[in-house]
Structure 1
Amino acid sequence: MIDEFTTSIPFMVGDRKWVLRYYPNGQTNVTSGSGHISVLLVLDSDDAKDVKAKFTFSLLDKGGEPVHPYIRAVEYIFARKGSVKGITLKHEFLEGSVHLRGDSFRIRCDVSVVKKIRSEETHANQFVVVPPSDLHRQLGGLLKSNDGADVTFRVGGNIFSAHRSVLAARSPVFKAELFGDMRGKAGDPIEIDDIEADVFNSLLHFIYTDSLAESTSEGATQEDVVTASHLLVAADRYGIERLKLICEDKLCNNIDSNMVATSLTLAEQHGCDGLKEACFEFLVSPSNLEKVIASEGYQHLKNSCPSVLKELIARLLPVELTAAKDIIRSI
């Protein structure tokens, strides 16, 4: 049942006591609800307060090694005893994983506690508090206000104003375009035909703030995943590598039978090796593969990236059929 859990034996890290909780059917306070598992790190020391910890959850393969990209690194401040932080994984992913051993799997949690180091210098400056950088907020405000904007874009009938210098500093493609062929077209909106307006808006938001707009829901919705797909294409086009990796990571974490064909096509066309491996991991399950073949995205994958299907087939063949694999790859 949902919210039922088992607890590990206590262990000590950084002079604090910790336990792990495992929810085989998820939690009601998680948007995704059933169909998931949850693994939580719990602070279990009575006198603990504001304990900062860095921890990593890793799904292990049959040899006991962490499986990329199913590694989650988290940094969190545990306010008091009973504070929790953890991860969720879909049942669908686990059931189709080659890393199951019978009906079991292994997840490792590595924990380190971050402690403040007191010195004469820190004592002398205890009355000075340096606030965190808010440059992203200031630049985000500049984008919203359009103060000093000197370039405009027309995307799907919508007009977007921006600043050439900011775009050029963040994107080598914008730099080449805005200070090259398009430099003399300062008064005319630049037409962009192959990106949707909401995707371009998200692209500008990231360029100015180095972050994605906050989602109104806790978990990633289907719409969020589709948007990440379109945003990955835009990030690749404009050479914004960090945004591309963020979108790739989101797609890796939300692979299912409906999206895997589309994600695999994107991975092949835009050089996303991590996403490609995650898709292959999902498709080694015969049941997952059957569902994908019946999906709408399969025909597009088959027509646009036949080489990926050949590579997949070669991976599904037993190790002994090495010669057959070589033949398939050469076709």
Structure 2
Amino acid sequence: MATSKTLSTSAPETEQGTHVFRIVGYSQQTGLGKPIRSGKFSVGGHKWVAFLYPVVSKFPNGIDEHHQVAGVAMGPKSAKARASCKLRLINQRTGLAFSVHKAAPREFSHDNAPMEWTITVIKQPRIPEVKSFPNIEVPPSDIALHLPSCWKKRREWDITFSVGGKNIGAHKMVLAIRSPVFKAELYGPMREEGTEPIVVKDVQPDVFRVLLHFIYTDSLPPLEDLEEDDRNEIIRHLLVAAVRYAMERLKLMCQIILCENLSIQTVATTLALADQHHCDMLKDACIEFMACSSVMDAVEATQGYKNLKRTCPSVVVEALEKISRFRNG
């Protein structure tokens, strides 16, 4: 499923300006009792004026205290801005600041006179630009292509099996990853060092190749070229191999195929196989197939059913009991 991710950021813009207001003849100007004003200067698109204003504080004891108020004013009268200010007083001899005063951001208009001279105008943020994260596409997994090709490279095989008199090669690590039984046989304490090829009994060469095909591809090879009876026979033997090597997924796949291909001639043989290898779902499917009143008589006439009665009479009894319950239910 394709997804996208975007990002935008909103942040206020600021513009800062510093105006140096040098006062010559300070004592003479303060004696006039009027504000000392700077020239107009621009910051953030607005006009500003710095000033010193003489203030006299009168106390009850008759002593007057004279001091100056420093500030900035903005014009024209209709203008408004949000800004913060900073005032630094410079030592004429050293050139260093000996007093710094800052004021937090506030609304300025023509009538306001905050106490600072260095001005930072805070503007409205621009509409943020939306940026897209790069759309990185991951190709589909191709491990299913590499493993089968690996199996075909005979020079890279590191294990050989003798199956029905035929040598079949593979890779020990791949087999051990896919089957706990192969792992124990090839890497466990019971392994036989230097004994090759490893003889595999009771498995047909064609079935063992299908087993290896599943190990390397996690799927079954095409079997359409075989006759139906031959295909079902391979699947029955493959089920036995899946049980032997503890490959549960393959075991389930074989059961599904056998369930889909039940017939009057095969159902009794398949039932015996399912009971022997504890395939409960396949066993129930066989009994349900036999429970059909139109086929039971035909099933009882098959050689497979006769063999089932002789070798596994308890299975026949169990099947007949379930069939009776199915019909009465």
- In structure 1, the residue matched to 2:205 is 197
The superposition leaves residues 8-55 of structure 1 with CA deviations (integer Å, 9 ceiling, x where unpaired) of: xxxxxxxxxxxxxxxxxxxxxxxxxxxxxxxxxxxxxxxxxxxxxxxx
Query: How much does 1:190 deviate?
Result: 1.0
Aligned equivalents of 1:316 and 1:227: distance in 2? 29
2:170 maps to 1:155: no
- In structure 1, the residue matched to 2:308 is 301
The superposition leaves residues 108-144 of structure 1 with CA deviations (integer Å, 9 ceiling, x where unpaired) of: xxxxxxxx565337x7555x54332221221111111
Aligned equivalents of 1:292 and 1:222: distance in 2? 17
Query: How much does 1:308 deviate?
Result: 1.5
Aligned equivalents of 2:232 and 2:280: distance in 1? 18
- In structure 1, the residue matched to 2:188 is 180
Gaps of 5+ in 2: 7-131
2:279 maps to 1:262: no
Aligned equivalents of 2:134 and 2:310: distance in 1? 64
Work out the number of aligned pairs and report it: 204
Root mean square deviation, CA, Å: 2.6
Q: Cα–Cα, structure 1 residues 258 and 320, in superposed 2: closer, same or farther, change >3 Å?
A: closer
Q: Cα–Cα, structure 1 residues 119 and 277, in superposed 2: closer, same or farther, change >3 Å?
A: same
Aligned equivalents of 1:153 and 1:183: distance in 2? 14
Pick aligned residue for 2:175 from 167, 180, 184: 167
Q: Cα–Cα, structure 1 residues 319 and 173, in superposed 2: closer, same or farther, change >3 Å?
A: closer
Percent identity (aligned): 45
- In structure 2, the residue matched to 1:283 is 290
Q: Which amino acid aligns with 1:239?
A: A
Equivalent residues of 1:170, 1:207 under 8 A apart: yes
Tell me the TM-score normalized by structure 1.
0.56
Which runs of at least 4 in structure 1 moved beyond 6 Å after TM superposition?
A: 319-322
2:237 maps to 1:230: yes
Structure with the greater alpha carbon radius of gyration: 2
The superposition leaves residues 121-179 of structure 1 with CA deviations (integer Å, 9 ceiling, x where unpaired) of: 7x7555x5433222122111111112432211111111011111111111111111112
Q: Which amino acid aligns with 2:319?
A: L
Query: How much does 1:291 deviate?
Result: 1.5
Query: How much does 1:224 deviate?
Result: 1.9
Query: How much does 1:300 deviate?
Result: 2.6
Gaps of 5+ in 1: 1-115, 323-331
Pick aligned residue for 1:251 from 241, 248, 258: 258
Query: How much does 1:319 deviate?
Result: 8.2
Tell me the TM-score normalized by structure 2.
0.56
2:248 maps to 1:241: yes
Determine helix, strand or coil for the equivalent of 1:214: coil
